[in-house]
Amino acid sequence: MNELFGGELGRVGLERVVELAHRHLGLDVTYIVQLTSAGEVYRAAAGHVASFNVILDGEPVATTTYCRRLVDGDIPNVIVDAAADERLADLAKTHGAQIGAVIGVPLRLSDGRLFGALCGLSRTPRPQLDQRDVQFMSMLSESSINDLDELHSQDALRSDILRLVELEDLKVAYQPIVALNNDECLGIEALARFPEPFTRPDTTLADAERFGLGLELERLVIRQAWKILPVLGPGQFLALNVSPDALVELARRANQRKNLPLSQLVVEVTEHSVVDCYEALHHELAPLREQGLRIAVDDAGAGYASLRHVLELRPDFIKVDRWLIHGIARDHARRVAVGAFLSLALDLGADVVAEGVERPEDLRVAHELGLHAAQGYLLGRPTTDLEAVPRWLSSPGREKAPQRRPPKRSAPSSLRRQPASARPT
């Protein structure tokens, strides 16, 4: 028996479990069904799936089937001649095929809670099925506990995200972006904040994307952040983090609307994000950039896509990741790397923003290098307190003001104030 599991009885995988059951028992179909309050959901299957109306991860089936009766203890684990058992008279209707034999065992999570059942069906009676086959399926069920725990956890997470979107249960924190030449607040970045049980915002957004809810969640964050726009002063902007896929879709919708305050918006595309088609992104963004929308490449220097994003998107802002900024005062290599981004930005007519500034000496070096703006705890911590935002916008955004020398170089102010679409490249 052990050779069926590749020499180990650890985590096998739900697909492997149903394949092993199907191969060993020789039935027409084997499957794992999850029993929920809304009905039964097929989660893995092997064999003639379509001919038995087994649809993986489909809508819950409310019909009371063999598996439900099995876990309730109404019928035994194996019935070799289902046609002769009145308790299974409706199975043919449920599965759209004549059922000759059934076998199954309950599936439980590691804490003992019921998950569902591992079941097998045959079109013809199978008198050879006995308790040894039931024991084999029970062993398979034990090997799948870790996978069931993970599946149950992911289902719970998806439900939590769906509930979050439906209830609009989130907050937006704001953080100032401060010009280094005069300490004025250029704008504020909107940062999503989610309630428990969610942890990091980027993790939550990534989970939502995995469940097909990413666009809805990003739209919700933008809609909440949008409320701060009337507070902005002339020339100040609201920066929004948007994934490339969501950006294409939201830009498509924005192109169908008029009178959007595009000159007050900066869209940040993180360098960790993969852009599948820059051409499609350019196509949707071009009309919006002509109307004043600006683009930023976020987290530059933190991943693999920095130069590709910068060269393809031709952004108005390059935001250097805190990993390069933190400790730049004492690290010559960091200064060289940031200087490279600055040289590229000057050639493109973009502004360079230092992210994650926490120490006065790092801020001083950022200014000496000629960076245009900075953002971080030293200048203002992210806050959901809307009363703090007007104070940032109407006064210098610095919480601490270290002495700084004049900058060595900077982009001409006339060039830096233009959207990228209006600049020479």
Domain ranges across the chain: 2-154, 168-422
Give just the sign of the alpha carbon dihedral 365, 371, 372, 376.
negative
Confidence of residue 64 (pLDDT cuts 50, 70, 90): low
Q: What is the pLDDT of residues 71-99, one digit of tens each?
A: 888 889 999 998 787 777 666 566 656 78
CA-wise closest residue to 399 among 189, 234, 187, 175: 175
Q: Is 82 exposed, middle or buried (0-12, 13-18, 19+ CB in 10 A)?
A: buried
- pLDDT confidence band for 291 (50 / 70 / 90): very high
CB distance 157 to 23 below 8 Å: no
Whole-prediction pTM value? 0.75
How confident is the model over 186-215, as a mean pLDDT?
Answer: 91
Lowest mean pLDDT among 290-299, 376-385, 408-417: 408-417
Average pLDDT over residues 99-112: 93
d(CA 32, CA 50): 15
**CATH number at 2-154:** 3.30.450.40
**What pLDDT shows up at residue 410?**
40
So what's the pLDDT on residue 271?
61
Q: Which of 9-13, 103-107, 119-123, 339-343 has the lowest mean pLDDT?
A: 9-13
Is the CB of residue 295 less than 8 Å from the CB of residue 309? no
Q: So what's the pLDDT on residue 422? A: 43
Query: What is the model's pLDDT at position 414?
Result: 33
Domain at 168-422, CATH from 3.40.50.300, 3.30.470.20, 3.30.310.50, 3.20.20.450: 3.20.20.450
Residues 331-389: tens digit of each pLDDT: 999 999 999 999 999 999 999 999 999 999 999 999 999 999 999 999 999 999 988 88
The yes-or-no verdict on residue 62 having pLDDT over 70 is no
CB contact at 8 A, 76 and 60 = no
> Does the pLDDT value for residue 419 go beyond 90?
no
